Copies of this chain bind each other. A is one copy, B any other.
Amino acid sequence: MAKGLPTRKDDYSAWYNELVKQADLAEHSAVRGCMIIKPYGFAIWEKMQRILDDKFKETGHSNAYFPLFVPKSLFEAEEKNAEGFAKECAIVTHYRLKNDPNKEGKLMVDPEAKLEEELIVRPTSEAVIWNTYKGWIQSYRDLPLLINQWANVVRWEMRTRLFLRTSEFLWQEGHTAHATKQEAIDETEQMVKVYADFAENHMALPVVQGLKTESERFAGAEETYCIEALMQDGKALQAGTSHFLGQNFAKAFDVKFAAKDNKLDYVWGTSWGVSTRLMGALIMAHSDDEGLVLPPKLAPIQVVIVPIYKKEEDLEQIKTALAPLTKVLKAANISLKLDDRDSFRPGFKFAEWELKGVPVRLAIGMRDVENGTIEVARRDTKEKMSWQLEGAGENIKQLLEDIQQNIYDKALTFRTSNTTEVNTWEEFEKALDAGGFVSAHWDGTAETEEQIQDKTKATIRCVPLNNPQENGTCILTGKPSKERVLFARAY
């Protein structure tokens, strides 16, 4: 970490890449586009998983596990979905290696071990899951079926970036089946709200909830809800999606149920997911030129204590002085690290924990012990304070809450001041170049949407939920429009 980061202003993209590596979050692997999530990065992901998993269970969902591989014929069954993912599928064609007769000690694919039918490595699991639901659903008594899976998926991406776009990534995918259209829509909306709540209250990340336009919808869905966040470089990032699938997959896989009146009908479906992409959003939304800034609720280490001492017996005295404080913090389930490594100097440790985004750093030397004080540094504002050791535990608990709130408030202020309403094409282009969300009228056609993207690289991020209705004219074509939509350049 002594290397220093590029600044966000100089090169936002290099800043992000270096930060991910230097803070020990992730790195590239020997396989093109696949990442290695390092222990410190994975600890953050585990916290995200635990919180989300609890929320899914509170809303009635159970976890299950479905196969990694999808036979090609199953994959094809829902045509739009298959078309949407076909170009990025990793495909298993053989199941055995053998000794290479031409190269001593080397192996080759055994041509005799060709599979009768190729297997797709799942890019998403609708096909394999709906094919299974056919066997699980006979009557209204089997509904709703509310299932989630934590899994790895593969989408063969040509241009990859750690966490944001990788060929293999980790995610959860919910797949539910319902007796009525309304119930499925309610579920879709419930889950986008669960995601928004998680983003705002745990990731400290304000998000816009909205609907995707038809061209941005999930392949095979009738409606895609999303949460959209704004990064510090003014680009938007889709942080989660929840899809109303209508009866599309039920029809493709023949999943019918007998209602109370014994009439047979296709069930209604939803699917919803968030992925390790959230890690990218978390990093880019809050961090600064010195390193990560982690919201306390997701920080693997919430408080680090750096003792400052020369003699071994001083360290013992410091530990004794700290004992009442650490007891209070541990009792409050605050994750605490005492960094007493003797091979590094305090300044080095300060920089390391700053880089790694630990929300609160405590430092304590012999003079503090004498005075009954402790130095408290908060990561978000870089403020340093000298506190009385007595009662510090309660104050630190409060400080962690304040930091969580402050990180959110800062991101919200940033988003508010980077969301611009425009009414003309000239204003639109100018606002896009300045960065952020641009709220504008659009004539509602896919052609106009595409033309705008070709001219500006901006896409419609969403039509916000509960969007105010307002008469206006399309910024490109001048045709009439009844509501504004949110444009942005995006990750």
By a CB distance below 8 angstroms, the chain B residues around A170 are 65
Tell me the bound Cα distance from A69 to B166 in angstroms. Answer: 13
A87 in contact with B82 (CB, 8 Å): no
Tell me the bound Cα distance from A47 to B66 in angstroms. Answer: 18
Q: How far is the CB of A298 from chain B (nearest CB, A)?
A: 15
Stretch at the interface among A8-16, A94-102, A351-359: A94-102
Q: A343-386 toward B: CB 8 Å interface, digit per residue (1/0)?
A: 10000000000000000000000000000000000000000000
Copies per assembly: 2
Q: Known: A30-B74, A42-B64, A62-B39. Is A107-B86 also a contact (CB below 8 A)?
A: yes
- For residue A468, CB closer than 8 A to chain B, the reply is no
Tell me the bound Cα distance from A37 to B66 in angstroms. Answer: 7
Tell me the interface secondary structure of chain A in the complex. mixed
Tell me the bound Cα distance from A65 to B68 in angstroms. Answer: 17
B35 in contact with A67 (CB, 8 Å): yes
A92 in contact with B63 (CB, 8 Å): no
Q: Known: A29-B128, A74-B30, A97-B87. Is A46-B69 also a contact (CB below 8 A)?
A: no
List residues 27-69 of chain A with CB under 8 A from any CB of chain B: 27, 29-31, 34-39, 42-43, 45-46, 62-69
Q: Which residues of A contact B (CB under 8 A)?
A: 27, 29-31, 34-39, 42-43, 45-46, 62-72, 74-76, 79, 82, 86-99, 105-107, 109, 118-121, 128, 131-132, 135, 141, 147, 151-152, 154, 156, 168, 170, 343
Give 7 closest A-B pairs by Cβ, nearest first: A39-B62, A34-B67, A86-B97, A37-B65, A95-B156, A91-B94, A93-B93
A-B contacts, 24 of them at CB < 8 A, read A31-B67, A31-B128, A34-B67, A35-B67, A36-B65, A37-B65, A38-B64, A69-B90, A69-B168, A86-B97, A87-B97, A88-B95, A89-B95, A90-B92, A90-B95, A91-B92, A91-B94, A91-B95, A92-B92, A93-B109, A97-B120, A141-B343, A151-B152, A152-B152
